[in-house]
């Protein structure tokens, strides 16, 4: 057996793997530039870490495109994402934080989590399948619950459904979404839309709200 197969990723590796997984949800491969932007680290640091991840079999290089997770890297990434999203639920449901505070706190705290602590948090929060932002939480075996939703930018006037996910970590945007009542589970109807990527008018619950194109890209609905 290759000794690399027994290697557990370091805290820094776990952070990189989870972010590569998130970026791969929108693109098959991940560039060093996009990874540097998301992790807020200097671009020269990225190739060094990617080389380490490649050497131990967590990622593979795709010429002229970037990197992608191997199956082993995907498994490690999903374990880290489970820790992170369960911690976000714990921070909201048990500790009373708001959803715009959780991502940064979870980033800081997840480094100290092990599987035992993670599963205790899952028990205390009722084995949740979604984080406070609506993102699916992998189960203990790394399986993701099925999510059938679509970004609201792809829908037209008359569509009715419910908010499924709010896909941003920016606190200001999350606070604004909350002020409009656009949180996971809220019933919505598209009642108007301006052309050329103009704003959209929604009925959210009993209120009508207007959101611009930038915010639309973060809003996923059923």
> What's the predicted TM-score (pTM) here?
0.90
Q: Which of 49, 73, 97 is the last residue of a domain?
A: 73
Q: Is residue 141 part of a domain?
A: no
Structural domain boundaries, residue 157: 150-221
C-beta separation of 84 from 18 below 8 A: yes
Q: Is residue 160 part of a domain?
A: yes
Q: Is residue 204 part of a domain?
A: yes
Tell me the CATH number at 217: 2.30.30.90
C-beta separation of 23 from 32 below 8 A: no
Q: Is residue 182 part of a domain?
A: yes
Q: Which of 46, 73, 100 is the last residue of a domain?
A: 73
Q: Is residue 132 part of a domain?
A: no
The pLDDT tens digits along the chain (222 residues) read 454 555 789 999 999 999 999 999 989 999 999 999 888 888 888 999 999 999 999 999 998 899 999 999 999 999 999 999 999 999 999 999 999 999 999 988 988 888 899 999 999 999 999 999 999 999 999 999 889 999 999 999 999 999 999 999 999 999 999 999 999 999 999 999 999 999 999 999 889 999 999 999 999 999
Cα atoms found within 13 Å of the Cα of residue 114, Cβ hemisphere only: 2
Q: Which of 45, 73, 101 is the last residue of a domain?
A: 73
To 10 degrees, what angle do helices 71-93 and 11-24 make?
A: 100
3-class DSSP state for residue 209? strand
Q: Is residue 206 part of a domain?
A: yes
Tell me the CATH number at 59: 1.10.10.10
Q: Is residue 198 part of a domain?
A: yes
Count of domains observed in the chain: 2
Q: Is residue 111 part of a domain?
A: no
């Amino acid at each position: 057996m290759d000794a690399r197969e027994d290697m557990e990723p370091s805290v820094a590796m776990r952070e990189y793997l989870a972010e590569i997984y998130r970026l791969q949800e929108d693109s098959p491969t991940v560039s060093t530039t996009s990874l540097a932007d998301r992790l807020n680290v200097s671009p020269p640091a990225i190739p060094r870490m990617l080389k380490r991840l490649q050497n131990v079999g967590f990622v593979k290089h795709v010429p002229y495109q970037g990197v992608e997770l191997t199956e082993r890297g995907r498994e490690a990434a999903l374990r880290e994402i489970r820790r992170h999203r369960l911690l976000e639920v714990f921070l909201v449901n048990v500790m009373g934080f708001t959803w715009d505070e959780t991502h940064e706190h979870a980033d800081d705290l997840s480094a100290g989590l092990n599987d035992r602590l993670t599963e205790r948090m899952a028990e205390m929060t009722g084995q949740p399948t979604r984080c406070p932002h609506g993102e699916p939480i992998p189960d203990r075996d790394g399986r993701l619950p099925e999510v059938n939703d679509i970004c609201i930018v792809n829908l037209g006037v008359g569509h009715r459904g419910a908010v499924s996910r709010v896909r941003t970590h920016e606190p200001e945007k999350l606070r604004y979404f909350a002020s409009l009542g656009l949180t996971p589970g809220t019933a919505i109807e598209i009642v108007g839309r301006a052309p050329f990527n103009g704003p959209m008018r929604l009925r959210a619950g009993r209120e009508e709200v207007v959101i611009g194109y930038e915010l639309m890209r973060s809003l996923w609905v059923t």
